Structure formats: structure tokens, C-alpha cells
Structure 1
Amino acid sequence: MVRALTDAPGLELLPVWTDPLYVALPAGHPLAHRPALDLADLADLPLRLAPREDNAPFHDLITGACRKAGIEPPSGPPFTTFQETLTDIGVGAPSWTVFYEVAGLPELPRVTVARLVAPAMTTFLAVRPGPPVPAVRHLLEALSRTT
């Protein structure tokens, strides 16, 4: 299982499920009242993103989506840990970050979380190319019923 990866030479990527992405930004920012945001809405606000070497597929997903949306947000301080980054967003200079839900959406004072309209993040099952073996087909069917 791999997330956000779009190419895996020698493997076929079978989509299993898709997770929405979320934006965290200062609660006092003019965009904070919106339940969902487009990347274009965030074009002028510094983006806090982990260095590419820390998570290349996710980094590429976000930077590629920004390019596709025709924006290049200014770089903010790097994403460090989830808790530290969100705390800095709440008390520091205005900036934003993007993340996917792991164990519920965070609730922090002075930080607002909004759903990002696009992109979403797909989780794939990486398999050898060719027709899926019956066990893989059954696994994918079972997963599609639970998501």
C-alpha cells in the first residue's frame, strides 16, 4: 500500500481509497470562515511544507497541484512536526499547511481547519503488472465496501 505515489516503475498502482486533504491556517485569517478552500484562495499565503526528501510523493502531490492551479505560494517555514507546525500557525506569522486526516481532525486554539477542494490523496495497492490474482481482487472488493 502506498499513498500519493503516482508512478512506480515495474509496478501497477491499483486505487484503493481516496482521502480528502485539509488546510490549517490562522483562525483570524479572512479565509478561516470558509468550510472548504481552493488552492487559488491560498496563493499569497506562505505554505509550510516538509522538504521533498522527507516525503517526496506528498510534496510532489501538493506542489504539482499548486502548479496546475496556476499558483506558487511563497515558502513559509518548513513543516516540522504536526503539532509544532500547527502551533506555529496559530501564534506566528500567517501561513498554512496541508495534511490528511490520520486520527481525527485537530482542534487547536487560534487554528482553523478547512477541507481542501482539490487535490485529494489516493492510496494504492502496488502490484506486479497484469491481471490481478483472485486474492488481490477479493481484497480490493472488500476494501471498496468499507470505505
Structure 2
Amino acid sequence: MELRQLRYFVAVAEEGGFGKAAESLGIVQSAVSQQIRRLEREWGVVLFERTTRRVGLSGAGERLLPEARAVLAAAEQTSRVAADVTAGDDGILRLAAVNGPGDRIDRVLGELATGAPHLQVRLHRLPVVRRLAAVRAGELDAALVRAVPRAPGLELLLLWNDPLYVALPESHPLAAEQALRLEQLACLPLRLAPGGNPPFHELVTGALHAAAGSGPVPGPPFTDLRATLAAIGTARAPSWTLFYEVRGVPSVPRVAVRPLTDLAVSTSLAVRPGPPGPVLRHLLRALHAVER
């Protein structure tokens, strides 16, 4: 069965004859008759009662006519959606996001909803290594990543830089400073989780080497931010950690939080090389609109 056969079937039914149907379709009558006969043979039914005076639907034809119309309507709708997908006005954006800071991601989603209201956005939460692998494999269209300087096989489009904050005991002499530099903290044990976020770990250790000539002094393990801050405030031996803002800068008793002046963390969009497709162009416009 071909769509054109269904079109011919519906045209003959609506025009009341093969000649008029052929005229409305802009083809010869023999082509219409031939395709209707093929359709009847394929389905094993007679669609039209033919007499010398008129052509009318058979019982089978009357039953199948609404089904044929539904198939043609679905095909037309599919073509319209395909055209919208090609233009980027419809479709699915598969994006791996990052937490915070603030409402930036929410604003990006708002821009997408305004610029491409029929575009579906599917957000994924994955560890950074899996995030990048999914973009390479085509399982994701793009991924937001932090502190990633390079990603073999992918392009990294720098979006923004976010400040870093130092947390240390309120009783420590450095807490008297309004802002801190890495070299001031180099001798103090650092709570840093190397396994959970390798790019961030490498960023910090590399910056400490550059600022103080050596890597960090290992401190107690970093668990999650709240638990780590609580431990910094109550432990007998002083230590410190650093973090980027996700949902505001936390306030914890006996812990001083100070901005770090000589290091920031970058956020980039990881995509496959080459010109961006229509869906990615919508995402890039939304990201740029949020950063204006």
C-alpha cells in the first residue's frame, strides 16, 4: 500500500468518479483506475461499485474511507513535524546540566520555551566523565561541564566563569582577611574529593602548584558540602575547603567563608565538532540571552 493509492481512493470517493478524481489530482484517469485496482487486489476487497452511470462506494469502501483519511492526515502531520524538526522549532534537546549557581539554568529553559515553544528539553544528571562520553556517542546533544579544560573528540564552548569560595575555621588567623589567595592557604590541610569531580580536583591542585610551588596538603576527606563545613567548624585541627556557589553561599556556625581572588571555575558547553544543528542553535541563543 502506498500513500498515493490512499489519496486516489479518497479523491474518487469525494469526487464521485474516476474522471473527476483524475482531474482534481492533475493526472490521467487510467493512472487512478490502475492504482485503485492494485489497492483492491492488495486488500482483497472491492472499494467501489461501478456502473455505466455512476461510481459509488461499496460497503467495504465506506468502512475503509475514514481509515484512509486518518492515515493521510497522520502522514501530513508527520511531514509538518518533520519540517519543524528540520527548522529546530520542534524536536527533543537532550542536555546534561549542572547545578546552579542561582537560577541560571531555569532562565535558559525559559528562553528556550519562548524561542522554541514546541521543543522538548530532556535534562540528564550524570557524572562528568559519563556526560562527555554520552555526547561523543550521540546519546546527548550537549552537556554543561565545569572546570574541564579539554575533551578529546569534542568542542568546548566557554560560557561563563563563577567565583570560588574558601571555607576555614572562624578561629583561624586567615579568617580575619576579607578575601584570600591560594598561596596563603597552601600549608593548611585541604579537604578535597578527588574521585567525585576529577576536573575540579585537577583545577585546584594545578592552581596550588602554580601559586605555591607544591600541591595541596592532604586533609580529612570531603564528603558533601554541608557535612564538610560542619567538620571544619568543629574539628580540633584546622583545615579548609573551597567550593562554587550552587544555591547560595551557605552560613555555618564557626566557619568563615571568604572569596578566593586568584581562581575561578569555568562552565563550558560540550558538543560534537561541526556546525550546530537547529536544536543546538536554539540552545546557544538561549545561553547567550541569559548571559547578556
- Percent identical: 60
Q: Which has the higher contact order (CA 8 A, sep 6+)?
A: 1
In 2, Cα distance between equivalents of 1:137 and 1:120: 27
Q: Does 1:73 align with 2:73?
A: no
Amino acid at match of 1:24: A
In 1, Cα distance between equivalents of 2:221 and 2:228: 8
Matched residue, 2:196: 54
Q: Aligned residue pairs: how many?
A: 146
CA displacement, residues 53-80 of structure 1 (integer Å, 9 cap, x when unaligned): 2211111111111111124331110101
Amino acid at match of 1:117: T
In 1, Cα distance between equivalents of 2:278 and 2:178: 42
In 1, Cα distance between equivalents of 2:176 and 2:214: 22
Query: 1:86 is matched with which residue: 229, 246, 263?
Result: 229
SS at 2:176's partner residue?
coil
TM alignment of 1:1-147, pairs within 5 A = 1-50=144-193, 52-69=194-211, 70-92=213-235, 93-133=237-277, 135-147=279-291
In 2, Cα distance between equivalents of 1:33 and 1:140: 42
Shift in Å, 1:119: 1.7
Amino acid at match of 1:81: D
Matched residue, 2:81: none
Q: Is the 8 A contact 1:17 1:144 kept in 2?
A: no
In 2, Cα distance between equivalents of 1:134 and 1:40: 46
- 1:28–1:15 CA distance, 2 compared to 1 (3 A): same
**Aligned-residue CA RMSD (Å):** 1.6
In 2, Cα distance between equivalents of 1:14 and 1:2: 10
CA displacement, residues 17-58 of structure 1 (integer Å, 9 cap, x when unaligned): 1111111000111111222211001011110101x2221111
In 2, Cα distance between equivalents of 1:58 and 1:65: 11
* Larger Rg, first or second structure (1 or 2): 2
Which protein is richer in helix relative to its size?
2
Q: Is the 8 A contact 1:40 1:71 kept in 2?
A: no
Structure 1: which 4+ aligned runs deviate by more than 6 Å?
none
Q: Is the 8 A contact 2:205 2:216 kept in 1?
A: no
Q: Is the 8 A contact 1:21 1:118 kept in 2?
A: no
Q: Which runs of 5+ in 1 are unaligned?
A: none
In 1, Cα distance between equivalents of 2:264 and 2:156: 16
In 2, Cα distance between equivalents of 1:61 and 1:85: 20
In 1, Cα distance between equivalents of 2:159 and 2:271: 12
CA displacement, residues 64-116 of structure 1 (integer Å, 9 cap, x when unaligned): 11111124331110101211110110011110001110000010110011111
Shift in Å, 1:134: 5.8
What is the TM-score normalised by the length of structure 2? 0.47
